[in-house]
A and B are shown apart, each in its own frame.
Chain A
Amino acid sequence: MLYVVIVFLILAILMYILLGGADFGAGILELTTPDRMKTKLRKRTYETIGPIWEANHMWLIITIVILFVGFPAVYSLLSIHLHIPLLLMLFGIIGRGTAFVFRHYDAVEDEMQKVYNWIFTYSSFVTPFFLGLIFGAAVGGKIDPHAGDFLGTYIWPWLNGFSIAVGLFTVTICGFLAAVFLVGEAGLEAEKRFLVTRSRAFIVATVGAGGLVFLAAELQNVPLIGLLLNESLTLGILFLASVAMALLWIQLPKAKKAFSRFLAGAVVTAILMAFGYHYFPDMVILQIGENLSVFNSAALGKPIETLAWALLIGSIFILPSLGYLIYSFQREKAGH
C-alpha cells in the first residue's frame, strides 16, 4: 500500500505543478505583459481558469495531507527548517487566491482593481518561486538538524544559490505552461501572435533557468551533474523534453491547441519525472549525509494503509467529476 500512497503523492505534485502552475503562470504572464494587452489577457485568464482554479489548488492540500499523515518526519522537519520560506509562500497563496476572486466579484469597478491586480500578479510570482525554492532546499543537502545557530538551522538550508535557481526555474515553467495554454484560447490574430512570442520567450527563460540550476548545483557542491551523467534514463528523459520543447517552438503558431498543450504538459511532466527518478526514494537530503526517504520516513502499517484507501476511494469520486467539469467548460467554449 505504500506504493499507492507514493503514486498519489507524485500525482498530486505533478497535477499541482501542471494545473496550479498554469494558474500561477497566468499571473506571471500578466506581470510581463504591456499595459495595452493586459485587459484582454485578464479576461482570457478568467474565462479559462475561473471555474477550475479552486479545484487546481486542492492538489496542494492533498500533497500536504499525504505528507503529514504518511510521512510525518518529512513534514515536521521541513516545517522547522524551512519555516521562513513556507511562511512567505503562504502569504503568496493568501494574496493570490483572494485577489483573483475579489477582482472578479467586486461589484464596482474602480481604483481597487489596480490593487487587486498588483497583489495578484506579484503573488503569482512569489508563490511558485518559494514553492520551487522549498523543493530545491529539500534536496539541496543544506539542511543541518544539528546546527547550533539560528542561521545554520533556519536560513542557510534555503537561502542558497541552488534553491533560488530551482525557485526561478519553477517560475519560468509556470509562465511557459500558461503562455502555451492561452495560445489555444486566443481570439484575434494579434493576440495569438503576442502569446506565441511570449511562449517562446518563456521557453528561452526555462532553458536558461534550467542551466542556472545546474550551474548553481556545481558551484554549491550539490552533486547533480555527476550523478545525472551516470543515469542514462534520467538523461534520456531530459533529452526528450528538450526535443519536445524545440518541436513546440516551431509548431506553436500552426499546431492544434490540444497538440501544443499536450507537448507542454509532457515537457513539464518529463522534467519532473527525470528529477523524481533521480532522487527516488529520497525526499529530503540532509547535510550530515543521512536522507529521509519514502521508505524510512513512512508511517508504515495502518496509517499508510488507511491513507491509501482514503485516496483510492476519494479518487473514484474526484477524478470523474473533475474530468466532467473540465470537459463541460471546454466543450462549452468550443461551441461558441
Chain B
Amino acid sequence: MEDLLAARWQMAVSLGFHIIFACIGMVMPFFMATSHYQYLKTKKPLYKDLTKAWSKGVAIFFVTGAVSGTVLSFELGLLWPKFMLHAGPIFGMPFSLEGTAFFIEAIALGFFLYGWNRFNPWFHWFTGVVVGLSGLASGILVVAANGWMNSPAGFDYVDGQYLNIDPIAAMFNDAWFTQALHMTLAAFVSTGFAVAGIHAYLMLKGKNVAFHRSAFTIALVFGAVAALLQPISGDISAKDIAVRQPAKLAAMEAHFETAESVPLIIGGIPDVEKKEVNYAIEIPGALSFLAHGDFGAEVIGLDQFPEEDHPPVLITHIAFQIMVGLGMALVGLSLLFLFSKWKKKEWLDAPWFLWLFVLGTPLGFIALEAGWTVTEVGRQPWIIYGILRTKDAVSPIPGIQYSFYLFTAVYLSLAVVVTFLLTRQIGAVPSYPSQDATLSDSSASQTS
C-alpha cells in the first residue's frame, strides 16, 4: 500500500472510531442528567438505577473516547508533520481551549461517577450536567478546527509563507458555525437512536419493561427533536458549501458540467470517465434551488476545476446519498414516535413499532460516518483547502501501512471488547418485580 493512501486510511479509521465514542461522551451525560433529575424529583429508584446503569456504560465509552482522542492528537503530527508545522499555530486556538473543556469534563466525571451518596444530591446532579456541557463545548471546538481546514482563515498566504497569523479569526472561520451546528445535532441523533434502539430491543425481550421504556423515551425525545432539525441544518450547510467549496458540492451531487437550472440527482452511480450518472432519479431544478434558493440558478460543476483538483466523485456522492437517505428515514421514525406519543399511545408497546426502532439503532451513526466522509473526502486533494495538498503534508517515513494495520487491529479489538462489556452491563441491570417500580429499592444494594 502506498504511504499516502495508508496515512489517509489510518486517519480515517482513527477519526471514524473516535467520533462514535466522542458523540456518546457528549450526549449520554444529558440523558443521564434527565433521568437523574427525574430521580431527584420523583424518588423512584428506577430512575436512579437507570442513571447508574447508563453511567457505567458511559465510563467504558468515555475512556475509549479519551484514549482514541489522545492518539489523534499525536497522529496529527505522526502522519501529517508538514501540515502541523504550519497549521498548528494557526488553528491551535480551539485545541488549546478544548484542553480546558476536556479537563473540566474529566474532573466533573470524577465527581459524578464517584459522588453517589457523597455530595449534596443537586451538586452531584450538576456535575453530571457539567460533563455534558464541557463535552459539547469540546466537540464544537474541534469541529471549528476542522472547519478551518475547509475554509482557511486568519492568515495571509504569501509565496508559500503563512504570515499575519490571527488564531481567533482562524477559529471563527466561515465554516465553523454550520459545521458545529450540524455536528452537534448529529451527535444527538445518532446517540439518541442508538440508545433507544437498544432499549426497544430489551423491551421486546419482555424483561424490565418499565425500566427500558423510561430509557427509550428519554433517549428518543432528544434524538427525534434533533433528527427533525437535522435536514434544516443540512440545507444551511449545503448552501454554504455551494459558495465556499463548489468542488465539494459538485462531487456530492456528481455534477460534472456547469449549468443553470440543475436537477437534483437522487441515488445513481457516477461514471467519472464518461462524466455522467447512471440509474439516478432526477428532480428538475432542485439542486439549483437547494444550493442557491432559485430554480434557475447556475451551479458550478467539476468542469470549472482542473482535473488535479477534483475530489473523488464516487465516494463523495455515495456517502452523501447515504447520509441524506438515512436522515430522511430518521425524520420518518421521529414523526412516527411523536405522533404515537400524542395520539396513539397503544402503538408505543406494539412489537412492530419497537422493531422499527431496533432496526433504527445503527442508522444515525452510519449517517454520521457518511457525513464525515462527505466533508473530508470532498475536501480532497486539499488538506488545507486551496493552500496545502494532502500529498505534500504526509510524513516522509516509509511503511505507514504497517502502523495502519496495527491501529486497525487495535481499534477492531477495542470495538469487540466494548461491545462485549456493554452486553454484560445490560445483563447486570437490576430487575423489578412489578411494572410500577416504586415497590422495590434494589438500588440500596448497589453502590458503585
Contacts and interface: CB of A to CB of B under 8 A. Distances in A.
Q: Do chains A and B stick together as partners?
A: yes
Interface of A: 50-52, 54-55, 57-58, 60-62, 64-66, 68-70, 72-73, 75-80, 83, 86-87, 90-91, 93-94, 97-98, 100-102, 105-108, 150, 154, 299, 301-303, 306-307, 310-311, 313-314, 317-318, 321-322, 325, 328-329, 332
Interface of B: 56, 59-60, 62-64, 66-71, 73-74, 76-78, 81-82, 84-86, 88-90, 92-93, 95-100, 102-104, 106-111, 113-114, 118-119, 165-168, 395-398, 403, 406, 410, 414, 417, 421, 424-425, 427-428
Given A90-B71, A107-B428, A314-B99, 18 more contacts: A58-B102, A66-B96, A69-B88, A75-B81, A75-B88, A79-B77, A80-B81, A80-B397, A87-B78, A87-B403, A97-B66, A98-B63, A105-B56, A154-B397, A302-B165, A307-B93, A314-B97, A318-B107
Contacts of B100: 310, 313-314, 317-318
B7 to A, nearest CB: 11
A68 B84 contact: yes
B84 A79 contact: yes
Contacts of A91: 406, 410
Contact of A52 (B70, B77, B89, B110): B110
Contact of B118 (A100, A306, A332): A332
B27 to A, nearest CB: 18
A328 B118 contact: yes
Contacts of B103: 55, 58, 62, 314, 317-318, 322
B104 A307 contact: no
Contacts of B107: 55, 318, 321-322, 325
A50 B63 CA distance: 12
A64 B74 CA distance: 8
Given A90-B74, A93-B71, A105-B60, A83 B395 contact: yes
A321 B104 contact: yes
A311 B60 contact: no
27 contacts: A54-B63, A55-B103, A55-B106, A58-B103, A60-B70, A62-B99, A65-B92, A68-B76, A70-B92, A72-B88, A77-B81, A79-B84, A80-B395, A94-B410, A97-B70, A101-B59, A105-B421, A106-B421, A108-B428, A302-B167, A303-B90, A303-B167, A307-B93, A313-B100, A318-B107, A325-B111, A328-B111
Of listed B78, B119, B406, residue having the most chain A CB within 10 A: B78
Contacts of B92: 65, 68-70, 303, 307
A313 B96 CA distance: 11
Contacts of A58: 99, 102-103, 106
A105 B61 CA distance: 11
B99 A61 contact: yes
Contacts of B74: 64, 79, 86, 90
Contacts of B60: 101-102, 105
Nearest to A298: B89
A306 B66 contact: no
Shortest beta-carbon contacts, A-B, top 10: A69-B92, A79-B77, A314-B100, A303-B89, A299-B89, A107-B428, A72-B88, A310-B96, A68-B88, A101-B63
Given A51-B114, A98-B67, A101-B63, A72 B106 contact: no
A69 B398 CA distance: 26
A76 B81 CA distance: 5
Nearest to A72: B88
B109 A54 contact: yes
Given A58-B102, A64-B74, A80 B396 contact: yes
A301 B67 contact: no
Contacts of B71: 90, 93-94
B448 to A, nearest CB: 9
Contacts of B406: 87, 91
B66 A307 contact: no
B15 to A, nearest CB: 15
Nearest to B425: A107
Contact of A69 (B86, B96, B403, B425): B96
B89 A72 contact: yes
A74 to B, nearest CB: 10
A58 B63 CA distance: 12
A54 B106 contact: yes
A73 B69 CA distance: 22
A210 B59 CA distance: 38
B237 to A, nearest CB: 28
B16 to A, nearest CB: 16
Nearest to B114: A51
B128 to A, nearest CB: 14
B194 to A, nearest CB: 19
A57 B70 contact: yes
A72 B166 contact: no
Contacts of A61: 69-70, 73, 99, 102
Contacts of B73: 61, 64-65, 68
Contact of A75 (B63, B77, B111, B167): B77
B397 A51 contact: no
Given A306-B168, A318-B103, A86 B96 contact: no
B414 to A, nearest CB: 6
Q: Which of B82, B99, B410, B425 has the most A CB atoms < 10 Å from its CB?
A: B99
Contacts of A307: 92-93, 96, 167
Contacts of B110: 51-52, 54-55, 325, 329
Contact of A306 (B81, B93, B398): B93
A83 B97 CA distance: 27
A230 B410 CA distance: 48
B395 A79 contact: yes
A220 to B, nearest CB: 24
Contacts of A301: 165
A70 B90 CA distance: 10
Nearest to A62: B99
A54 B167 CA distance: 28
Nearest to A101: B63
Contacts of A73: 85
A86 B78 CA distance: 8
A90 to B, nearest CB: 5
A75 B78 contact: no
A107 B424 contact: yes
User: Most chain-A Cβ atoms within 10 A of its Cβ — which of B77, B81, B108?
Assistant: B77
Contacts of A72: 84-86, 88-89
Contacts of B113: 51
A314 B99 CA distance: 8
A91 B405 CA distance: 13
A54 B66 contact: yes
A98 B414 contact: yes
Nearest to A110: B424
A22 to B, nearest CB: 16
B167 A76 contact: no
Nearest to B90: A303
